[in-house]
Amino acid sequence: MQSVTREENPLYYDLISAFHRKTGIPVILNTSFNENEPIVCTPEEAIDCFQRTRMDVLAIGPFVVVKPNGSMEALAAASAKTDLNA
């Protein structure tokens, strides 16, 4: 288990805090990001993987991208996730 402080990574800390407020669960499981290849390590690799796979939404830092043919559910979920103050 790893912990994060606001001073170390304010964006990730705020994400965990928002998730806790919405769900009552103060933990986020961070899994590897890849598809039959080495783990994604850079934004460029993340975008490449996003474009090649059936992924609907990609979030990198404060940026969220939704594929044009993505489902309305994915768009709604991405919109809800970007509002950390809700």
Q: What is the pLDDT of residue 25?
A: 92
Q: Output helix, strand, coil percentages for the chain, rounded to the nearest 5.
A: 40, 10, 50
Contact 47, 61 (CB under 8 A): no
Q: In terms of Cα–Cα distance, which of 9, 55, 6 is closest to 64? A: 55
pLDDT in tens, 6-61: 999 998 899 889 889 989 999 888 777 878 888 889 999 999 998 888 888 888 88
Phi, psi of 13 (to 5 degrees): -60, -45
For residues 61-86, average pLDDT: 65
- The answer to whether the predicted template modeling score (pTM) of the entire model surpasses 0.85 is no
